[in-house]
């Protein structure tokens, strides 16, 4: 089954947030993972035994070559992006074809939906989800690929985490890998790949900035409690702590009102290495510890020394996926 066909079937096979990362009927542990972001392409190949890194490569992209969008064409300069992908996989010396592919967050919309009753059958569930989300996405739901999973509800009924994307945009990225002989076996957003890095024993918020996109997610004991992806008023090199807080605060306030408790920590990712500038202002307003997502995971012993090349380049999606692979 191809990636797109698997996504059409659309059920997450998951046991909480650390199983939140695969589409139905696709292999969960490809030996190769590739992230395509607005500013770079990066990929890693793991060894078959032990999960160590066998090879790793990253290629910068010209400004504007990839313009992440849920609606419009993403590859503004497909020649440059395809060339970067080609160089990446030449350096990787890939011998297997299956790849886990991580896309920019704006491409994949994620919702946490509540239902009083939810069908067990995917054939019944998908039309219900399309109807429910018809007015929530800026494209026709019959043009989408959808995946979903049930999770523990906050109240009576059923909570369903749903991810959907416009099919033709997903295919833009898939075809990049296919052009170099690779086959995307897992397709997901970069933030979902990074979530295993977040310590979710207590309510925790991840705020991840890439280019002009900010994604915030709140998880609590394996449950995705909230998700928000927005465009920022400036690039990650120029965004101010107050501007970031303005986009994080609505999700934190929603969680506090809905769950009757506050978040207990914030993990930051991206921000072009400027995380220290954001720590004190966010701690003062959110009243909880704030730190780097990767540094916090490393201090808690979740990241092995073998992953150092990825950590040094702040490739949180690839590091997070490696934790999933080893779980």
Position 22 pLDDT exceeds 80: no
pLDDT of 4 over the 70 cut: no
With pLDDT > 90 as the criterion, what percentage of the chain qualifies? 62
Residue 281 reports pLDDT greater than 50: yes
**Which tops the pLDDT comparison, 174 or 6?**
174
Residue 6 above 50 pLDDT?
A: no
**Residue-wise pLDDT tens digits, 103-119:** 999 999 999 999 999 99
Q: Which residues contact 92 (CB under 8 A, 6 or more apart)?
A: 32, 43, 44, 45, 55, 56, 57
Residue partners of 220: CB distance under 8 A and separation at least 6: 200, 202, 203, 204, 259
Res 153 pLDDT > 90: no
Lowest mean pLDDT among 19-28, 61-70, 204-213: 19-28
Instruction: Indicate the range of 19-33, 129-143, 174-188 predicted with least confidence.
Output: 19-33
pTM for this structure?
Answer: 0.88
Length of the chain: 327
Confidence of residue 222 (pLDDT cuts 50, 70, 90): confident
pLDDT in tens, 230-268: 999 999 999 999 999 999 999 999 999 999 999 999 999
Contact assessment for residue 216 and residue 136, using Cβ atoms and an 8 Å cutoff: no
What's the pLDDT at 1?
A: 33
Per-residue pLDDT tens digits for 69-83? 999 999 999 999 999
The pLDDT of residue 96: 77
pLDDT band at 298 (very low <50, low <70, confident <90, very high): confident
**pLDDT, mean of residues 193-216:** 93
The residue behind tokens 């609505």 is 250
What's the pLDDT at 8? Answer: 33
């Amino acid at each position: 089954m191809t990636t797109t066909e698997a996504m059409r079937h659309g059920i997450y096979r998951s046991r909480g947030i650390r199983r939140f990362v695969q589409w139905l009927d696709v292999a969960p542990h490809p030996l190769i993972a590739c992230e395509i972001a607005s500013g770079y392409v990066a990929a890693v190949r793991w060894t078959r035994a032990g999960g160590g890194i066998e090879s790793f490569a990253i290629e910068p992209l010209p400004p504007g070559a990839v313009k992440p969008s849920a609606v419009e064409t993403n590859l503004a300069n497909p020649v440059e992006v395809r060339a970067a992908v080609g160089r990446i996989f030449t350096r990787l010396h890939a011998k297997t074809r299956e790849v886990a592919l991580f896309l920019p967050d704006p491409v994949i919309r994620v919702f946490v939906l509540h239902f009083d009753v939810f069908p067990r059958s995917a054939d019944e569930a998908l039309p219900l989800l399309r109807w429910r989300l018809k007015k929530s996405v800026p494209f026709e739901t019959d043009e989408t690929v959808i995946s979903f999973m049930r999770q523990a509800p906050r109240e009576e009924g059923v909570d369903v985490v749903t991810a959907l994307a416009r099919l033709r945009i997903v295919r833009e990225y898939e075809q990049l890998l296919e052009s170099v002989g690779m086959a995307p076996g897992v397709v997901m957003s970069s933030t979902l790949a990074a979530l295993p890095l977040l310590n979710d024993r207590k309510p925790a918020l991840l705020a991840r900035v890439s280019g002009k996109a900010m994604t915030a997610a709140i998880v609590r004991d394996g449950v995705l409690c909230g998700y928000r992806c927005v465009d920022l008023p400036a690039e990650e090199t120029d965004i101010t702590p107050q501007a970031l807080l303005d986009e994080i605060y609505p999700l934190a306030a929603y969680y506090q009102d809905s769950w009757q408790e506050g978040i207990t920590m914030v993990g930051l990712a991206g921000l072009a290495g400027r995380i220290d500038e954001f720590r004190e202002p966010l701690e003062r307003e959110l009243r909880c510890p704030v730190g780097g997502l990767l540094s916090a995971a490393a201090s808690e012993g979740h990241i092995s020394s073998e992953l150092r090349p990825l950590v040094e380049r702040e490739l949180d999606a690839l590091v997070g996926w490696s934790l999933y692979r080893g779980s």
